Amino acid sequence: MSARHQFAFLAAALALAAPAGAQTFDIRPAGDVLQGRPVSVALTSLKPGQTVEIAAERRFGRPAAVYRSAATFTADSRGRIDLAKSAPTGGDYRGADPAGLFWSMKPTQAPVPADWKTGEVRLTASTAGAPVATGMTRLLGFQPGVTDEAVPGFPAARLYRLPGDKPRPVVVILHGAEGNTEASERYGRKLASLGYAVVGLPYYSPDWGQYGPPKAIKDLPGSFIDIRVDQIADLRAQLARTPGVDVSRIALFGGSKGAEFALIAASKYPWLTSVVAFAPSDLVWEGWGLEMVEAEGARSSFSFEGKALPFMPYVGFVEGLQLGDRADLRKIHEDGRAKFPEREAAARIRVEDYEGPLMLIAGGRDTLWESGRMARNVEIARKAKGLRTTALIYPDAGHDVGGDGWAPTIGQVAHGGGSAAANAQAQLDAWPKMLAFLEATLKP
């Protein structure tokens, strides 16, 4: 632990022995909190008009680093600073925001103390550079006790749930273009903590040969070509043989290419209870993989019952591969759509064939593809048939609208557009609405 950290916590210990009126943090709820649930942070017993800097630090990321944010506040007439009501006069975010210090954190070069627990957020209030109060909350990724087991017949798939024999409704997580288990790990235990039987279903493990890292899951397709949508029906059959799982209530939860997958599946399977689609597509798109270097425009991303689905080709995909992270993926998609308008009708996902409830969440500044506009297209097609559709489209947000708004968002901007603030605000609004949607549709 650095000398600065030791000094801050020594100051806090001394503050405990201070007379009544010493500045203190009022953090509610006290103790551990499942991340995504609101946390109230206030600083009390200040002098009215007193200027205070509040800093927040957290161990975060892979590899772990110390992330930090700070903002300056002026105490109100009662000598109080409440993050939900007090707008900072300077610092890492603007406007009154209960989560502002949490999402605006940035990585530092500070060494990570060995005793720093995952999710632990340390708060320090300082006046003129001297610490006057410290506080702490811990944001849990999931509740203790969530179990994790393999799903027979599905490579690297995991079933997460709380203990007990009560049949639980199912949420199936469908990852995006990153493949592998990242989405399962991000959401699986967290959603299971809310009472669902959650299946993380990897269906693609990138294999770029000598041009990329080794393939992570050997028994999954290494190219995103003709991915079997009908494996959802196979999964349902397997789960029907699993005690404690209620397959009469199944929701799909997909982001990006996983949202494309989810919407296609919904158009084929009326027995799906509900669908949540983050950064979705209204079309089936061309597939990709090493073989596409020789056959650009020839293969679909998805198949159903042994037949490749009609798709919209890209334009410039191979050139994009050569550019790597500098590729303009949004342009590659939009140029394809502009060049092949005659293919749009066949490639369009028939979302109106699914009569169940659907939630769409997207950003208007998505730099990977036009998810905001495509979400609106889906909404229009369904509302024309009077189908229950909720579209949450945030004009200034980017591709990553699937978080809860209580974790640093700075890393999402380079990946998918928007801004740290706009992405966080979208997540803070959408996450509780999404949870309420699942609750209403799966636990009526």
> Mean pLDDT throughout 32-43?
97
pLDDT score of 413: 86
Q: Given pLDDT bands bounded at 50, 70 and 90, which one contains residue 323?
A: confident
pLDDT score of 295: 72
pLDDT above 90: percentage of residues in the chain = 85
Query: Residue 42's beta-bridge partner residues?
Result: 26, 82
State which fold the 3-140 domain adopts.
Answer: Immunoglobulin-like (2.60.40)
CATH number at 147-442: 3.40.50.1820
Is 294 or 416 the better-scoring residue by pLDDT? 416
Task: Answer whether 216's CB lies under 8 Å from 249's CB.
Answer: no
Q: Given pLDDT bands bounded at 50, 70 and 90, which one contains residue 104?
A: very high
Give pLDDT tens digits for 202-254.
999 999 888 888 999 999 999 999 999 999 999 999 999 999 999 999 999 99
Give pLDDT tens digits for 163-190.
998 999 999 999 999 999 999 999 999 9
Instruction: Choose the weakest-confidence range: 208-212, 260-264, 370-374.
Output: 208-212
Is the pTM higher than 0.75? yes
pLDDT score of 345: 98
Query: Do 147-442 and 3-140 have the same topology in CATH?
Result: no
Residue ranges of domains in the chain: 3-140, 147-442
Would you name the residues annotated as active-site residues?
256, 366, 399
Return all residues near 404 (Cβ < 8 A) that are at least 6 apart: 35, 36, 427, 428, 431
Give pLDDT tens digits for 125-145.
999 999 999 999 999 999 999
| Closest listed residue to residue 67, CA positions, set 117, 103, 43, 25 | 103
